[in-house]
Structure 1
Amino acid sequence: MKQYARIYTLLLMLVFNISFKEQNKTNLSKDDTRSKTVITSLGPNSDIRNIKQDKKGNVWIATNDGIFKYDGGSFTNITSKITSAAFSSILEDRKGNFWFASLGSGVFYYNGTSFRNFTTRDGLANNGVLTIYEDKTGNIWFGGEGGVSRYDGKSFQNFSMKEILSNNNFATIINAKTLESIPNIITREKLPNNTINAVLEDRTGKFWLSTRREVYVYNGETFTVFRNKDGNPFMNVRTIIEDKKGNIWLGGQDGLWRYDGNTFTNFTEHFVGQVYEDKKGNIWTTSARPNGRTWILSRYDEKSLSDIRPTVTQINPNSGRLIFGIFEANDGNIWFGSGGVLYRYDGNTVTPVNSFGIKSLMSDEFDFPSSNC
C-alpha cells in the first residue's frame, strides 16, 4: 500500500507541474508578445535595488535579474527576453511610460508594449546609470557613472561634475557653460568624481545633485558645492528628498541631515542609504548599524521631528543584506527589499511577498524596538 501511495503522490505532482506550465503558457499568450515578458510565481531572487508603484497599482521591482512587475497575484519579468542587464532604478513618467536604469547597458524606455534602449551612442553620458528623475517641465534626468544627462524627448545634454583649483583650494562654483572645457585636474588632495547618486528639483526650481563626493546645487547657470554650518561639504550622499514642508533631507556618509533653508539638523551619524517621506510626514531611512554588518529600516515619527531626541522605530530583517527601495503603497503599507526578498510592512507585521519568503515574519523574528537616537 505504501508503494501505491508513493506512486499516486508522484502522479499528482506530475499533473500539477503540467497544469502549472500550461497555465503559465496561457497567461503569457495574453501578454503583449512584443514585450517578450515571462510570467512567474517566484518573483525576484537577486538583490532588489528599487521598488515603485505605478498609477494602476502594480508594483515594479528593479533587480540584478531584470525588471519585475507584481500585479498582486503574480510576478512578470518584463526584461528577461530583452536584456540580461542588472537594473538600479525605475521611473513612471507623467505620460505613463516607464524608464529603467541599468548598471551597464544604458536606459530602457518602455511604453507598455515595446522597448527602446538609450546608450552613449544616443548621447547618454554613460551606460552605467544609478538614478532617474523627472523634473517639473517633463525633462528626464539620468545620473550615473559619467555625470548626469538631461533628456528633453529629443536629445541629451550632459553635465560632468569636474572640480578645479582656486588659489588655495578647489573652486566651489563651476560655470555650466564652460563645464565641458575645464581640464580634469587630479591632485593628491582630491580626486574628481563624476558618479551621480541622486537628482532633485526643489520647489524653488533649483536642482540638487549628489556625487560620490560633494553635493552640488544648480540654479540653471552655476553649480555650487553645498556645505554645512561648519563650511564642510556633505560627502557621498546617496539620497536627497524634499519633504512636504520644503525641508531638504540628505542621507549618506555623514548620516541623516535636514536643512530648512537656514538651520541644519543631524539625526544620526551612521551611514544612511535611502530616505523616504510617507503620507503622514514620517521619515523612513535605511542605514547601517554601528558594526557595519547589518542594516535596519528606521521610521522617524513626524510629530517628534522637532524634538531633540525624536521617536524612532527600527525594523531589522536580520538578513545581513543592504535594504533598498522604500515606498508607501496606496493602502499605506511600506514596502522594501533586502537581498532577493520583497517585504511588506503594515505597521505590525513584516511579510515577504515573493515565494523566497515562505511565511509571515512576526515581531519575534524582526526587531521592532522603539527608541530615541
Structure 2
Amino acid sequence: MESSKYVVVGAGLMGAATAWHLAAGGQEVTLLERDVPAGAFGSSHGSARIFRYAYPNDTYARLVQEAAPVWSQLERESDRALMQRVGAIDFGAERDPRGLAAVLSRVGVEHTLIEHEDARTRWPQYAVDTDVLWQPTAGVVDAEGAVDSMVTLAEKAGAQILTGWDVAEVSTASTTGYVLRSTDGRDIHAAEVVIAAGGWLPHILPSLPLPGGFVDALPHFEVRQEQTFHFPYAQLLDDAEWPTMIHMLRDGGVKKAIYALPGGRNGEHRGLKVALHNGGKVLSSAAQQDGQVDPANRQWVTEYVRKFIPGVVPEPYNEATCLFTNTPTEDFVLERVDGITIVSACSGHGAKFGPLIGLLAAGVATQNGAVPDEFRVPR
C-alpha cells in the first residue's frame, strides 16, 4: 500500500496551495485529484477571478492584504504572470461604497470615493448608479494558471500528484492514521488527511471518520451551479481598460449582486465576463451538476448588461457553469480534528485568497499556525 504523511484531497486552488506550502515546508505530501487539477467539474477552472480589497468587515480586507504578497511569491517562483491589476469599482445603494471605504481606511488599503457623475465620465463603459469606490491595486487573477503553477511547484518540492484518483471512502487505520480508498479500489495510507474538495465536500463528508459532534457543528454547505457569460467589447478597448465591477441593487424587491471582470484567456481577451452572484440552482453536491445554463439566467444577465454596461454588445458569445460552495455566513472553514483538516467552502469569494489559504491550511494541518476565529468550527 502506498503511504504519505500528508494526503491532500482536491487539486483546485485550495488543495493545490496546501500541497505547495506543505511540500515547500519539507513535508511528505501526496495530492489526489478525482479528475485533473482545476478541472471543469470543480470551482477553480478558468482564467479570470476578481481580486479586490472591498469587504464590509476588517477580517477579510486584512486577509486580502496578506494574500497579495503570497500571489507575488507564486508569480516569482513560477516565473508566470498570474495577476493583472486593472483596478476595481464597487457601486450601488445596496453595496454601500462609503461603508466599504471606511473599512479600507481602517486597514490601510489605497482607495478613492468618486462621485457618481465623475465616475460615469471616467468609466463610460459602465452606467454606474451611485458614487463609486475605486481600488487601484485590485484586479484579476488567473485561477487555472495559479493551480497549474502551484501543482508544478509542489511537485518540484517533492510532492506526488495523482490524478484520476476519486476518493470513495476514508477509514481509520488499524495502527495510526487513515486509509483512503479510490472508487477503483486503490488504497493510500496517510498520517494526516486534508480535505479541500470544494463542491464535492458534501459528497465526501459522509465517508470521513469524523466525530459526530464535529460534523454537527459544521455549517451547512450549499452548492450552487453558477453561470457566467462573456459579452464582446463594443469599442476598441482591451482587458486592461476594464476595471472589475461589483454592483448591488434591488430588482423586484430582491437584493441582487452582479459582478463583471475582463474575461482574459477564456474570453479570448475580447470580452467582459459577467454573472449574477448566487443566481444558479442549488445542488446536493458537485456530483449533481449537469453543466446546463439556465435560459432565464442568461436572459436576466443580458438585460442587465443592456442597461448597465453600455461598453459591451449585449449578446453573449461564450457561457459556462461553475460551482459555488456557500456557508450561511459566507465564512470559510479551516479546522483540524483527529488528523483530518477540512479546508474552506469559499462561498464564491475565495479565489483571491487561494495561495494564502493554502499557507494557513498547512499551518493548521501541521498544528503550527493560527487562522481567524471566523474559520474555526465551534467545539
TM-score higher than 0.5: no
More helix by share: 2
Larger Rg: 1
| TM-score w.r.t. length of structure 2 | 0.28
The higher relative CO (CA closer than 8 Å, separation ≥ 6) is in 2
